[in-house]
């Protein structure tokens, strides 16, 4: 079971829930590793209501520069592509070319509002696929999956729900499509006030959704500060306001560090990586949104200077991981190391 809807929160957030997770044995990887996942998606105004129209894909011309950076560091990123990317010939050309040459992997990402069939009312609530009727979530995801296979010649292994909106029916859909890795869980984040999932008490270590057939690979978020051992309770339940959290961070009592270049300075990310290494998180899962690779499409990159800082973040993080002896990995390698029965 993935995260449930906000109205089902009690069953998810019971005090014993964290004990119900069965962690995956990834010792076959030999050491801690890191993964780069890219929400490869259309450009749209994040501050405006959701719309089926008015989006763009111009930033795709910036993708080769990022791929070249990954190539130099021996990193094979996973591009989690959504429907508008598969509708763009340039998007298909780029991601399929990288995948067929072994430079990248292709995964699946569902943005319901721009992914047919269009049988729902566009709303904030329905932007989370977990809030759609199960048959509509299935139809949209199946349509996207089939489009990726047909247009790229690649059968994806991994899925991420747009807006991290995985729900109680998602696992069945993924299993039926043959997807073996989900990476929708943004551990230590709560989207329930927006109508989305609550991942406050989900672990950062990979765990089985269905043992031997469906693995969860959470995005990596760590807590720093004197109260880090109680981070989930303190941050998620006692100090829910942004003001209270800012006070905690400034006082070095508690700070949440998501390992992404979007809103997290390089120095803070390096601290987060060191903490993830200390916690022995098997897979350090880095993520960001592809429109941030060009100026003007996300709140994080509005100027050329910010774009340069964005690339400096990657260069600094990749070098730090190398210096700490943390090598890159891939979805395929993780799948193999997880000892799925049919790979034996």
Please indicate whether residue 64 or residue 16 has the higher confidence score (pLDDT): 64
Contacts 24+ apart (CB under 8 A), 4-8: 4/130, 4/167, 4/168, 4/197, 5/130, 5/131, 5/167, 5/168, 5/197, 6/192, 6/195, 6/196, 6/197, 6/198, 8/168
Query: Nearest-5° angle of CA 157, CA 159, CA 163?
Result: 170
Is the pLDDT at 86 greater than 70? The verdict is yes
Is the pLDDT at 5 greater than 50? The verdict is no
Q: Please tell me whether residue 317 adopts helix, strand or coil conformation.
A: helix
Q: CB–CB of 43/59 below 8 Å?
A: yes
User: In degrees rounded to 5, what are phi and psi of residue 193?
Assistant: -65, -25
- Candidate from 1-10, 51-60, 107-116, 327-336 with smallest mean pLDDT: 1-10
| DSSP H helical ranges for 101-167 | 134-152
Average pLDDT over every residue of 42-57: 97
Integer CA distances (angstroms), 55 to 114, 169, 171, 174, in order: 9, 28, 29, 27
Is the pLDDT at 1 greater than 80? The verdict is no
Q: What's the confidence (pLDDT) of residue 330?
A: 98
| DSSP H helical ranges for the chain | 9-12, 63-72, 83-87, 89-100, 134-152, 170-177, 231-233, 242-250, 266-278, 304-323, 331-337
Per-residue pLDDT reduced to its tens digit, 254-281: 789 999 999 999 999 999 999 999 999 9
With cut-offs at 50, 70 and 90, classify the pLDDT of residue 341.
Answer: low
Q: What's the confidence (pLDDT) of residue 224?
A: 87
Average pLDDT over every residue of 73-90: 98
Average pLDDT over every residue of 114-126: 97
Is the pLDDT at 234 greater than 70? The verdict is no
Per-residue pLDDT reduced to its tens digit, 91-106: 999 999 999 999 999 9
Is the pLDDT at 114 greater than 80? The verdict is yes
Average pLDDT over every residue of 233-262: 65
Exposed e or buried b per residue across 263-275, where buried means at least 16 C-beta atoms within 10 angstroms of its C-beta: ebebebbbbbbeb
Q: What's the confidence (pLDDT) of residue 324?
A: 98
User: In degrees rounded to 5, what are phi and psi of residue 134?
Assistant: -55, -40
Q: What's the confidence (pLDDT) of residue 68?
A: 98
Single out the residue of 314, 223, 306 nearest to residue 260, CA to CA: 314
Q: Please tell me whether residue 222 adopts helix, strand or coil conformation.
A: strand
Average pLDDT over every residue of 315-344: 89
Q: What's the confidence (pLDDT) of residue 102?
A: 98
Residue 31 corresponds to which tokens in the numbers above? 């050491």
Q: CB–CB of 199/3 below 8 Å?
A: yes
Is the pLDDT at 177 greater than 60? The verdict is yes
Average pLDDT over every residue of 127-154: 98
Exposed e or buried b per residue across 153-169, where buried means at least 16 C-beta atoms within 10 angstroms of its C-beta: ebebbbbbbbbbbbbbb
Q: What's the confidence (pLDDT) of residue 202?
A: 93
Average pLDDT over every residue of 309-313: 98
Residue 111 corresponds to which tokens in the numbers above? 């943005």
Average pLDDT, the chain: 89
């Amino acid at each position: 079971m993935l995260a449930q809807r906000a109205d089902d929160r009690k069953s998810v957030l019971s005090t014993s829930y964290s004990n119900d997770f069965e962690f995956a044995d990834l010792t076959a990887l030999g050491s801690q590793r890191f993964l780069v996942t890219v929400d490869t998606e259309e450009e749209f105004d994040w501050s405006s209501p959701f719309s089926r129209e008015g989006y763009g894909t111009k930033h795709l011309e910036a993708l080769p520069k990022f791929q070249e950076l990954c190539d130099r560091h021996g990193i094979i990123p996973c591009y989690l592509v959504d429907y508008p990317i598969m509708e763009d010939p340039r998007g298909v050309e780029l991601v399929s070319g990288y995948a067929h040459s072994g430079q990248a992997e292709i995964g699946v990402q569902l943005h319901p509002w721009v992914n047919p069939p269009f049988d729902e009312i566009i709303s904030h609530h329905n932007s989370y696929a977990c809030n759609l009727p199960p048959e509509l979530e299935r139809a949209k995801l199946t349509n996207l999956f089939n489009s990726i296979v047909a247009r790229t010649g690649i059968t994806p292994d991994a899925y991420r729900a747009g807006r991290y909106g995985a729900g109680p029916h998602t696992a069945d859909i993924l299993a039926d499509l043959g997807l073996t890795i989900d990476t929708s869980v943004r551990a230590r984040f709560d989207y329930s006030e927006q109508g989305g999932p609550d991942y406050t008490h989900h672990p950062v270590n990979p765990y089985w959704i269905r043992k031997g057939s469906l693995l969860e690979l959470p995005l990596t978020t760590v807590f720093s500060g004197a109260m880090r051992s109680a981070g989930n309770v303190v941050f998620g339940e006692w100090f829910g306001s942004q003001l209270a959290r800012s006070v905690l961070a400034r006082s070095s009592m508690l700070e949440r560090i998501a390992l992404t270049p979007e809103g997290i300075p390089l120095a803070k990310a390096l601290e987060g990586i060191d903490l993830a290494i200390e916690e022995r998180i098997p897979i350090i899962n880095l993520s960001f949104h592809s429109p941030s690779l060009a100026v003007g499409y996300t709140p994080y990159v509005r100027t050329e200077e910010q774009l340069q800082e964005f690339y400096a973040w990657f260069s600094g993080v990749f070098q730090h991981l190398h210096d700490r002896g943390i090598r890159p990995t891939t979805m395929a390698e993780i799948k193999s190391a997880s000892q799925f029965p049919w790979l034996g």
